[in-house]
Amino acid sequence: MEINRQPNYISEIKLILSQARSKAYTAINAAMVEAYWQIGKRIVEEEQNGADRAGYGDTILKVLSEELALEFGKGFSQTSLKNFKKFYLTFREVPKGQTLSAQLSWSHYERLMRVPDIQARSWYIAEAVTQNWSVRVLDRNISTLYYQRLLSSQKKELSNDSEVHETNPTDEFIKNPAVLEFLKLPVNKSYTEQEFEQALIDNLQQFLLELGKGFSFVARQKHIRTDTADFYIDLVFYNYILKCFVILELKTNKITHQDIGQLDMYVRMYDDLERTEGDNPTVGILLCTETDSTIARYSVLHENKQLFANKYLAYLPTEAELAAEIEREKLVIKQQLGL
């Protein structure tokens, strides 16, 4: 009789080899990234030595490329050497005693070099490391201005005066607007809330990444029963970092007072009927096609730390368009906070 299950020792040896390969790859990657940084530094130093000679920098790159190609083969074109130089110039502010993260590949750093803002770049590095972002995920997050969208939701960034406003930890997990181009929803024709919900479920993994850190899916059309009626919440998630449930109500229209009132009721009901000991207060997010500053100022959204109204974009806008959307959403949040 044939036995398909492998003995434990075989599985354990396979695991040992797999882990060893992973460690070897990480070590090689770290060594190469460090080498590219050192090469860039040496090129810059040599160019500075010949600063008074016209065309000296180009000559250095040409000669160096030819010499390295002879001994080490492909991968050292003048374009590559220019990238190494840019790599050093971009990351030479790395503090003494610290090194570039070994968890990020050269491809990660090539993408990061195209982020001009130092604070944004540092944030992307930290998140890419802690969240184990692939190059593809990093590229999308940079392209969709993840950092700027997250920043637009934080109270401390919205005030121009010297007063320090209290920061709600939830603000650090809410990006506005949300970019949902991966849903492939029609742009020029209408779709129902049921179709919107189904598209999110069909692309749940990407949606969880767009939501942010620590989210896990709990339920769809969550049934809540009271003494007098039955209610169905569109989507429920749990954030294990914030230690709270997150309710998402989906709207394919501009925000209304009724939508906010419904979300507020669902959050209160969920807290009363579903929240357990150890859970923080439930967070409610209304995902709609358009927000409104008047509703933000005069509805229960105003000064409610647990309710958020987020605009979503069903397409991937240009960087300029997205930057403009972020600025518009900042104004809405200011109205909500009374700033």
**Proportion of the chain in helix, strand, coil states, percent, rounded to 5:** 55, 15, 35
Pick the closest to residue 244 from 223, 219, 208, 215 (CA basis).
215
Question: According to the model, what pLDDT value does residue 163 have?
Answer: 42
What tokens were used for 101? 């993260």
Q: How far apart are CA 206 and CA 180, in angstroms?
A: 9
Q: How distant, in Å, are the alpha carbons of 93, 167, 294 from that of 151?
A: 23, 12, 22
What tokens were used for 134? 């692939």
Which residue's structure tokens are 């357990």? 276
3-state SS track over 255-275: CCHHHHHHHHHHHHHHHHHCC
Please name the residue ranges forming H helices in 50-133: 56-72, 78-91, 106-112, 118-130
Which residues lie across from 244 on neighbouring strands?
Answer: 239
Which residue's structure tokens are 């949040």? 333
Per-residue pLDDT of the chain in tens (339 residues, 90 and over written 9): 455 566 788 888 888 898 898 888 878 888 899 999 999 999 998 888 766 665 677 888 999 999 998 888 888 899 999 999 999 999 887 655 455 777 899 999 999 999 999 999 999 999 999 998 999 999 999 999 999 998 877 655 444 444 444 556 777 788 889 999 999 998 878 899 999 999 999 999 999 999 988 999 999 999 999 888 999 999 999 999 999 999 999 999 999 999 999 999 999 999 999 999 999 999 999 999 999 888 888 888 887 888 999 999 999 888 899 999 998 888 887 777 666
| Conformational region of residue 73, where left means phi above 0, alpha means psi within -120 to 50, and beta covers everything else | left
List domains and CATH numbers for the chain: 8-102 (no CATH), 150-337 (3.40.1350.10)
What count of other Cβ atoms lies within 10 Å of the Cβ of residue 10?
10
Q: How distant, in Å, are the alpha carbons of 181, 212, 307 from that of 326?
A: 16, 17, 19
Entry pTM: 0.81
CA angle in degrees (0–180, nearest 5) for 93-94-97: 135
Question: According to the model, what pLDDT value does residue 155 have?
Answer: 55
DSSP-based three-state secondary structure for 223: strand
Task: Kindly report each contact of residues 76-84 with a partner whose C-beta sits within 8 Å and lies 24 or more positions away, as own/partner.
Answer: 81/39, 81/43, 83/36, 83/110, 83/113, 84/36, 84/37, 84/39, 84/40, 84/43
Backbone angles phi, psi at 170, to 5 degrees: -65, -30
Pick the closest to residue 105 from 85, 126, 84, 135 (CA basis).
135
